[in-house]
Each structure stands twice: as structure tokens, then as C-alpha cells.
Amino acid sequence: MKLIERPVRSIVRAIVHAAGRWTDPDFPPRVRALDAVCNRTGYSAPVVEYAFDRLFSSLTQPAIEATIAGELGSLDVLDDFAGERDTLRTRALPIGRVCVLSSRTTIGVGIVPAIFALCAKCDVLVKDRQDALVAAFFSTLAEELDEMRESATVAEWDGERDSPDLGEFAAVVAFGDDTTLERIRAALPAATRWIAFGSKASCGYVGRDALADAKDARRVAAGAARDLVLYDTEGCLSLHVLFVERGGALTPADFTTVLARATQQAAVQFPASPPDTDRAAAVAGARDVAAFRVAATHGGAAYSDAAASYLAVLDPPGGDPPFFLPRALAVYGVESPSDAAEYIARHRIPIEAVAVAGMRPDIADMALRAGAARIAQFGTLQSPPLSGRHGGRPRIADFVRWITDET
């Protein structure tokens, strides 16, 4: 039997059963993949374990089926039933062969689009990085459903050097920086469906009402610290800049002090990657500049340590863009969401998500005007729901073509 002949619910069950096996920390393929991903990325084992747990625990049958039904109307449009031959029917057919090009940083980023392309009954090739995580998961998937041996395949690639021949694919999904994406897109036939996820950032906004007391501040700061330290602030879902409203029981300066302590505590749970000389020097340089400015102007504040393992700077000059450095965060005291919107617009920051404490209509409007695809609670930026439209794109609708036939 070919994958296209399989009922979509059987495909979903196979994916769910395979993912369930990968939620077990002692599952041998996961143990091997953990070491490989740590070696490739430099992330500590607790960070990679968190990424595995978040990824595979999200692949549940209710979540996958609800996502498909939400985008396509129902699961039945993916199955070519023999009955009901006397009415007009609209069906979602597979778009064709799909290629997924993984990014360097985000762990297992190619798996989610791949599983939805498989649910659309497309054959999928994932060009993955050297840790072979996707290949290991696909091997488990093939144990659950034999058709996956041919329909879900993997090849290794280096996004900075390789120029894959993608002309045979009906759709190409690509993650990476804008330069890499432009190079790949230029080589594709015009008819290829292009599904690109480029470089973006995420920000946070703390409303004055969310800082009623020190307990509230510690709770929000703990979430913000997690969003900051995970994956060493790489990736579009990391917290890159934070806005804190004035006028609350705690001032932005008070909150930044609490946040600095929370960041140190989060680093105990999620240790930083082994020191990289260039990155550590960049963070140390930013720390020293911030400390000089604080001393010279008697304004703002800078929090770090001797090793420059983290950095939180209150009110750096508004003309400065976010640091985009490991575990480094600019915190701005603002009067209203319009100040945050002005900063984002001035620096032309493409926003993926906004973490919010103290939701109000004007804060939601700021997030929407910034182009955010998601509004989240602090501490959950790195845990998007499966149904969430990452980059504003659908999960499965890109992998189907619609046909209406009289049967």
C-alpha cells in the first residue's frame, strides 16, 4: 500500500505512537540523539532535553487532528472515499513531493512541517543537519507504518555551503537567515510552492498592572528569564527585547533587578553552552559599554557577571537595536505600548511573537501592528502550540491542492 492510499487517521496514529516513544528520556534512539544534538549545537543536555520534551509531547492525536480540521474543514477531505458518488465533492490532494530544509539552530525544526506534509499524503525529504535527529525519528515512524520507509526520507546538508537541486519538488519548506533563503528561492522553478521561515525576533511587554507586588514581579521575571536563556537566545522565539511600563507598584528598574536574579537562577536549570571566545567577548564588550554609559549618564543600569554569561541592560540608548547576543537583553521603561511599537518600527524588527503580562486591548493592538503571529505568556515563548501559525503560515494547507469533482 502507498501512503496516499492510507486513511489519514492511520497516518496520524503512526506519528503519535512514534512521538510517544520519543517522549521517554530512556528511549535508546533519543539518548543517542541527545548526545549528537549537544555535540552539534553546543547546547547543554538540559536545554536539549527540554527541546525534545516540548517537540514530541506536542504531537498528540487531538492536537494534530484539530489542526488539520481547523485548516481544511475536516480530516475526511484528505481521504478518497468510494461512497457518495452522487454529489459534488471537494477533496484536498497532496501537492506533490515536499522538501524541508532545516535551520542550523532550532532543534528538530523540520519535523513539524514534515509530519503535516505526510498527513497530506505527500512524500517528504528532509535535508537535515549533521546530528541525524530527523532520520532517527523517521526510523521510529517507519516501525509504526511501513509506508514511511519510502515516503519519509532524510539527507544531510550544510545550509551555508550546499546548493541543493530542488527542481523536482512541488513544495519547498526552508528555515534560515535571509541570505540563505534568497539563494535557495532564486534557484527554484516559478511553479514551486515556496514556504520560507526567515530571521525574526520576539519581544516582551509587561503592563503596569502586572507588577502589583514583588510576588507578581518574580513570577513574570522567572518566565522572561526562561524565554531569554533557552537556546542561548538564538532563534525567532527567544526574548530579544523587553518593555516594562512605568507607573506600576514596581518601577522598570525594580523589575530589571528582579529579572537579573531570575536569569541567574534560570541558568542553573538551563546551563549555558560551553564558552565561545568570540561570543563571550561580544557580550563582555556590550556589558562594558553599558556600564560606561550608566556611569557617565547616571541613568539606566547594567547587570552581568565576571564571565559575561548573561547581560540585562535597563534603558540603553533608544537608537540602539537589540543586542542579538547570547543571553543578552535590553529592557526599556515605557509609558505605553505605542513606545514599544515605535521602537520596533524604528529598527525594522520582524516580530514572530510577543510575550505579555497584563493583557489589554492596546497591548494586543501593538503586537498585531508589529506583525506578531502569536501572543504568549512569559515562559511559554519557546513552547508554541502545535496549531499555532508559525511565521503566520498554516501547518497543513500549504501541502494540499484542492479539487472539486462530481462523483
pLDDT computed for residue 189 by the predictor: 92
CA 278 to chain centre: 25
pLDDT computed for residue 150 by the predictor: 94
Q: Are 23 and 53 in contact (CB under 8 A)?
A: yes
Quick check: pTM over 0.85? yes
All 3 cell numbers of residue 383? 513552547
Digit-coded pLDDT (tens) for 126-138:
998 778 899 999 9
All 3 cell numbers of residue 44? 547543554
pLDDT computed for residue 82 by the predictor: 41
Digit-coded pLDDT (tens) for 44-69:
999 999 999 999 999 999 999 999 99
Q: Say how far apart CA 121 and CA 116 lie, in whole Å.
A: 9
Digit-coded pLDDT (tens) for 327-337:
999 999 999 99
pLDDT computed for residue 405 by the predictor: 74
Q: Say how far apart CA 20 and CA 57 lie, in whole Å.
A: 7
Q: Is the pLDDT of residue 110 over 60?
A: yes
Q: How confident is the model at residue 296 (pLDDT cuts 50, 70, 90)?
A: confident
Q: Is the pLDDT of residue 276 over 90?
A: no
Q: Are 32 and 133 in contact (CB under 8 A)?
A: no
Share of the chain above pLDDT 70, in %: 95
Tell me the average pLDDT of the chain: 91
Closest C-alpha to 63, from 101, 111, 107, 112: 112
Q: Say how far apart CA 165 and CA 161 lie, in whole Å.
A: 13
Specify the amino acid at residue 322: P
pLDDT computed for residue 346 by the predictor: 95
Q: Are 119 and 68 in contact (CB under 8 A)?
A: yes
Q: How confident is the model at residue 83 (pLDDT cuts 50, 70, 90)?
A: very low
pLDDT computed for residue 162 by the predictor: 55
Domains of the chain: 3-199+388-406 (3.40.605.10), 202-372 (3.40.309.10)
Q: Is the pLDDT of residue 353 over 90?
A: yes
pLDDT computed for residue 88 by the predictor: 55
pLDDT computed for residue 279 by the predictor: 84
Mean pLDDT of 220-235: 95
SS (H, E, C) the chain: CCHHHCCHHHHHHHHHHHHHHHCCCCCHHHHHHHHHHHHHHCCCHHHHHHHHHHHHHCCCHHHHHHHHHHHHCCCHHHCCCCCCCCCEEEEEEECCCEEEECCCCCCCCCHHHHHHHHHCCCCEEEEECCCCHHHHHHHHHHHHCCCHHHHEEEEECCCCCCCCCCCCCCEEEEECCHHHHHHHHHCCCCCCEEEEECCCEEEEEECHHHCCCHHHHHHHHHHHHHHHHHHHHCCCCCEEEEEEECCCCCCHHHHHHHHHHHHHHHHHHCCCCCCCHHHHHHHHHHHHHHHHHHHHHCCCEEEECCCCCCEEEECCCCCCCCCCCCCEEEEEEECCHHHHHHHHHHCCCCEEEEEEECCCHHHHHHHHHCCCCEEEECCCCCCCCCCCCHHHCCCCHHHEEEEEEEC
Q: Which residues contact 343 (CB under 8 A, 6 or more apart)?
A: 241, 243, 318, 332
Digit-coded pLDDT (tens) for 358-390:
899 999 999 999 999 999 999 999 999 999 888
More confident residue, 60 or 214: 60
Digit-coded pLDDT (tens) for 154-205:
997 765 555 567 889 999 999 988 888 998 899 899 999 999 999 999 999 9
Q: Say how far apart CA 376 and CA 214 lie, in whole Å.
A: 22
Q: What are phi and psi of 32, to 5 degrees?
A: -65, -40
Q: Is the pLDDT of residue 85 over 60?
A: no
